[in-house]
């Protein structure tokens, strides 16, 4: 995700460019519910209802879409247990766990600067 060099097509390695592979990852991770869902799974597997309660304000539809995107991108594993009634759990993959540290840094920055946002600085 560095700047353009030599013969590269415009935008190929520039995160602002449409062709940068990092752009899609960045867009996934900065989604309103993605970081919260990843963080909610930090302590281990959770069922859908547990996640929904933990993520106050998320609709079932949006949570489902968020979990699907995370699963499609390899950050979350969905396990269906053959029980009656069926039980489904979501847990972070190794790749998903790798996102926890950067998200923790962002949380720390937000906490340290929340008053500045409210004050309009």
Structure tokens, 61: 């539809």
CA distance 33 to 89: 18
C-alpha torsion sign, points 1, 34, 39, 87: negative
At 21-38, the pLDDT tens digits run 778 888 888 888 999 999
Residues paired with residue 91 on neighbouring β-strands, in sequence order? 77
For the chain, the structural domain boundaries read 21-112
The verdict on whether omega for the bond into residue 85 sits within 30 degrees of 0, i.e. cis, is yes
Q: Band of the pLDDT at 121, cuts 50, 70, 90?
A: low
Q: What is the pTM of this model?
A: 0.78
Residue 1, number of CB atoms within 10 A of its CB? 13
Q: How is domain 21-112 classified at the CATH fold level?
A: Arc Repressor Mutant, subunit A (1.10.10)
pLDDT attached to residue 35: 93
At 33-92, the pLDDT tens digits run 999 999 999 999 999 999 999 999 999 999 999 999 999 999 999 999 999 988 999 999
């Amino acid at each position: 995700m560095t700047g353009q060099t030599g013969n590269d097509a415009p935008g190929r390695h520039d995160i602002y460019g449409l062709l940068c592979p990092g752009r899609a990852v960045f867009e996934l991770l900065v989604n309103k519910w993605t970081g919260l869902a990843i963080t909610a799974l930090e302590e281990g597997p959770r069922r859908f209802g547990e996640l929904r309660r933990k993520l106050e304000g998320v609709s079932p539809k949006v949570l489902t879409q968020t979990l699907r995107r995370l699963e499609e991108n390899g950050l979350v594993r969905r396990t269906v247990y053959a029980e009656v009634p069926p039980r489904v759990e979501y847990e972070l993959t190794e790749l998903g766990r790798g996102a926890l540290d950067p998200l923790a840094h962002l949380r720390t920055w937000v906490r340290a600067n929340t008053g500045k946002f409210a004050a309009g600085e």
